[in-house]
Amino acid sequence: MVRAKTPSFVCELPLTVTPADELELSIRLDCARMVYNACLGESLKRLERLRGTEAYQAARRMPKGAKNSPAAQARRAAFCAANEQAGFREYDLHAYATQFSHAWLGEHLDSNTVQKAATRAFLAVQQYAIGKRGKPRFRGRGWFDSVEGKTNASGILWRENAVRWLGLELPAIINPEDEVLAHGLSSEVKFVRLVRRKLNGRVRFYAQLICAGQPYRKDRHPLGQGVVGLDIGPSTIAMVSASEASLERFCDELQNRQKEIRRMQRKLDRQRRANNPDNYNANGTVKPGRLEWHYSRRYVRTRAHLAELHRKQAAHRKSLHGSMVNRILAQGDVIKWEKLSYCAFQRKYGRSVNFRAPGTFVNQLRRKAGNAGAEVDEFPTATTCLSQICVCGAKEKKPLSQRWHVCACGVGPVQRDLFSAWLARYVKDERLDAGQAQAAWPGEDERLRAASRMIQPAMGQGQPGPNPAKGQSWSPAQSGFGVSEACHGDSFAVAGKLADQPEPPAFRRWGVVRSTSNLN
């Protein structure tokens, strides 16, 4: 039976925890980790048994069909029958986890918490089975930092501004002037989640109240009217609405913290090599096989400091993502962008994606847009090809190095990402409405060109030259635009100096490509 889903949001509060309470909570989290690992191992075994059954193989051979078509429904029913036969269902794992409630683990965990740990393990294996994530890993000691209940009627309870759980009573720290907390505390609590975090070397505990209803929306974040087109890349985002057009980097303010993280990573590597010289070959690589590592106290302190830097960076990035989402929602109530594979981004642009997290930004955009009542439209790239098409209907495949769109019909030069974001506003039913886009283009030409000229050279975009279709990068002086048009802010003087310097040699991956005129 499919359970009905109702809107919900999270209200988080810090807890007052004594040393004795902290010790007991650590023991209970470790017990929940053991239950999770046992259910994870059992789920993996049942998945392997399921894949070997004839019913599963027959279901795989059935045609997929369109979504919600009779063929798709028949295939789904065949998979459900195979899962039931192999015992690969959520409630089958609940029945397996019942044994832990009757063992010594039941002295530290209630039955609802045990079942939610089993659900957590099953869902991880289920996502792995359908190819949406990698193979889940078992959790080591200290790597299981949250537990939750099923309802607010038994198990982990929220009563009188405190969390009560099997004899523990943990009062919450509540700011009476916080309007967001006041909204959450006045809502119905579905269930409670306990979270452990380490902040600046100290362990803190928080209560997350999963409440029914919609989250509180502040007055300073209004919802605009109109259509907003986005073009999201691994490190940049282009946004075009009826009143604004911009292209900027994701979370550019994090750059200074990233430099400090790199210094600490190098320091940690030096300490690890100094403490374990026998674990490295003469060329500096780690020896193969099972090795024994020794860590000094200074190494442990450096590792803790590095973990704290990563935590601060993640919190700062989340705040920057939220600010950008609020800016987008203030421009319109219909948000459109191409549906991309952020896992493919990770494989190709791993360092940039790890630093800027575009996939996390998209998840936050979906969530906040839904809470605000905005419409989200994600369309596939196969049917639109916005980076290759023009308003006249001409289609040309461009390499990634070609950052400017120029067409023989007279459109351009316009920065490629900005033009794709503008086209996204006119996508309907997963197809570009070329007639509507062509009718709207005459008034948009100068606006997008002006936004293109404001791109900073530091973003690696350059400016279009006499023949930008070949992907050449030209300086602002060569392009005919003034230096003040090519950049903004405090970089006027720097751009002026760069424009007076000769062009540097072109670099490739393994060296310098010299000009043929210098070889004569």
Quote the pLDDT of residue 3: 58
Quote the pLDDT of residue 4: 61
Average pLDDT over residues 14-42: 96
Mark which of 454, 483, 508 sits at the end of a domain: 454
Task: Tokens 């832990």: give the residue.
Answer: 100
Assess whether pLDDT exceeds 60 at residue 418.
Answer: yes
Binned at pLDDT 50, 70 and 90, residue 509 comes out as very low
Q: What is the pLDDT of residues 103-120, one digit of tens each?
A: 999 999 999 999 999 999
Does 400 reside within a domain? yes
Average pLDDT over residues 468-490: 38
Average pLDDT over residues 221-225: 89
Binned at pLDDT 50, 70 and 90, residue 43 comes out as very high
Binned at pLDDT 50, 70 and 90, residue 431 comes out as confident
Does 390 reside within a domain? yes
Q: How many domains does the chain have?
A: 2
Quote the pLDDT of residue 283: 92
Does 217 reside within a domain? no
Assess whether pLDDT exceeds 50 at residue 508.
Answer: no
Mark which of 454, 482, 505 sits at the end of a domain: 454
Quote the pLDDT of residue 95: 95
Tokens in use for 487? 């950049």
Question: DSSP assignment, residue 104?
Answer: G
Please check whether residues 99 and 64 belong to one and the same domain. Answer: yes
Please check whether residues 143 and 236 belong to one and the same domain. Answer: no
Please check whether residues 206 and 351 belong to one and the same domain. Answer: no
- Could you tell me which residue, 410 or 325, shows the higher pLDDT? 325
Q: How far apart are the first and last CA of the chain?
A: 79
Please check whether residues 328 and 367 belong to one and the same domain. Answer: yes
Average pLDDT over residues 434-458: 75
Quote the pLDDT of residue 135: 93
Quote the pLDDT of residue 319: 93
Quote the pLDDT of residue 217: 87
Please check whether residues 236 and 95 belong to one and the same domain. Answer: no
Backbone angles phi, psi at 164, to 5 degrees: -120, 130
Assess whether pLDDT exceeds 60 at residue 357.
Answer: yes
For residues 233, 237, 241, 244, the Cα torsion angle rounded to the nearest 10 degrees is -150
Q: What is the pLDDT of residues 240-253, one digit of tens each?
A: 998 888 888 888 88
Residue 189 contacts residue 162 (beta carbons within 8 Å): no
Q: How many helices (H) and strands (E) does the chain have?
A: 17, 18
Please check whether residues 157 and 233 belong to one and the same domain. Answer: no
**205 Cβ neighbours under 8 A, 6+ residues apart:** 14, 15, 17, 22, 25, 170, 194, 195, 196, 197
- Could you tell me the pTM of the whole model? 0.77
Measure the CA–CA gap between 474 and 465, rounded to whole angstroms.
6
Please check whether residues 134 and 59 belong to one and the same domain. Answer: yes
E runs forming strands in 251-409: 334-339, 375-380, 404-405
**323 Cβ neighbours under 8 A, 6+ residues apart:** none
Quote the pLDDT of residue 406: 82
Quote the pLDDT of residue 455: 60
Binned at pLDDT 50, 70 and 90, residue 488 comes out as very low
CA 471 from centre of chain: 30
Assess whether pLDDT exceeds 50 at residue 483.
Answer: no
Please check whether residues 34 and 150 belong to one and the same domain. Answer: yes
**501 Cβ neighbours under 8 A, 6+ residues apart:** none
Does 338 reside within a domain? yes
Binned at pLDDT 50, 70 and 90, residue 197 comes out as very high
Backbone angles phi, psi at 211, to 5 degrees: -105, 155
Provide the percentage of residues in the chain whose pLDDT is more than 90. 52
- Could you tell me which residue, 485 or 45, shows the higher pLDDT? 45
Please check whether residues 151 and 239 belong to one and the same domain. Answer: no
Assess whether pLDDT exceeds 60 at residue 322.
Answer: yes
Does 515 reside within a domain? no
Q: State the chain's mean pLDDT as an integer.
A: 83
Binned at pLDDT 50, 70 and 90, residue 229 comes out as very high
Please check whether residues 131 and 235 belong to one and the same domain. Answer: no
Measure the CA–CA gap between 495 and 513, rounded to whole angstroms.
24
Does 74 reside within a domain? yes
Does 283 reside within a domain? no
Q: What is the pLDDT of residues 399-414, one digit of tens each?
A: 888 888 888 887 778 8
Please check whether residues 417 and 321 belong to one and the same domain. Answer: yes
- Which amino acid belongs to residue 125? V
Domain enclosing residue 126, as ranges:
8-212
Does 293 reside within a domain? no
Please check whether residues 198 and 240 belong to one and the same domain. Answer: no
Q: What is the pLDDT of residues 261-284, one digit of tens each?
A: 999 999 999 999 999 999 999 999
Name which of 127-141, 174-188, 294-308, 472-486 the model is least confident about: 472-486
Average pLDDT over residues 443-467: 63
Mark which of 454, 471, 503 sits at the end of a domain: 454
